[in-house]
Amino acid sequence: MSDVGVLFVHGIQGSPSQFDFLISRLPDSVTVCNVLLPGHGTTIREFRNSSSSQWLPAVRDAAQKMKSQCERLYFVGHSMGCLLGLLIENELPGVFSGMLLLCCPFFVQPTLRYLRNNMMAALPERKGENPYVHALRNANSVSVRFAGEYLTAVKPYVELFRLIRLTKQIQGKPECEVCFFFSEKDEIVSRKSAAYAKDKYNTEVEILRLSGHDYFTPKAEAVIEHSLLSLIAL
């Protein structure tokens, strides 16, 4: 049995590759599971038919499997992945020894910058590209024939708001330590999310300067890495 395991869960329309910067810095002794959620990593047709009824069991199964293999299991989530982690921890109290949550969408407020970046991300990559657009393109795991196809994926985003509602209905807070990080220039998660996390979970939150929803500056990546290694006591 491994001493430490880390379960990584990406957000809606996201990709496991978003955690490469963290996984590459973990010691080889750490067992890693980097989940690809159902409906992701494939076509828009598969994505728009996916839902929380598939995502939650996928995370639950991964957590239970890892828990049987590791003495201590930690959770790292991004965006919707944070909601899935909090719901599983509430369902299986104590399954995680600690949680690190990035850009948790307790409140969502898409900005014009988000819409513009999405349009630009659908175009071929250009030299000297805006790092926020570059990160958004790399984070997206759902392929389309043309940018407008993304607008047909209504069901998954309805499911996202359902997960937000369910997470807010959780009474109390996780038994384990929870670390929240929010980005100063997040294009979709409202700033109210940071205040909500601080109040409900009675914990400090850290705002990552100059980072976006998918883009983290090198300095922010180093801060997140340090926090994860401290959380798992390595």
The predicted-structure confidence for 44-73, as pLDDT tens digits, reads as follows 999 999 999 999 999 999 999 999 999 999
> pTM, whole model, 2 decimals?
0.95
pLDDT of 144 above 70: yes
pLDDT(123) > 80: no
The answer to whether 151 and 72 have CB atoms below 8 angstroms apart is no
Does residue 148 carry a pLDDT above 90?
A: no
**Structural domains of the chain, ranges and CATH numbers in brackets:** 2-231 (3.40.50.1820)
Choose between 2 and 189: higher pLDDT.
Answer: 189
Of 86, 99, 88, 31, the C-alpha closest to 58 is: 88
Task: Name the average pLDDT for the chain.
Answer: 94
| Higher-pLDDT residue of 181, 129 | 181
DSSP state of 152: G
Supply the pLDDT for residue 1: 67
C-alpha to C-alpha distances, 70 to 1, 29, 66, 73, 221, nearest whole angstrom: 6, 11, 6, 6, 26
Is 2's pLDDT higher than 80? no
Q: In the structure encoding, which two tokens stand for residue 38, read together?
A: 């159902």
The listed range with the strongest mean pLDDT (63-67, 118-122, 128-132) is 63-67
Higher pLDDT, 144 or 199: 199
Q: How high is the pLDDT of residue 111?
A: 82
Of 38 and 113, the structure prediction assigns the larger pLDDT to 38
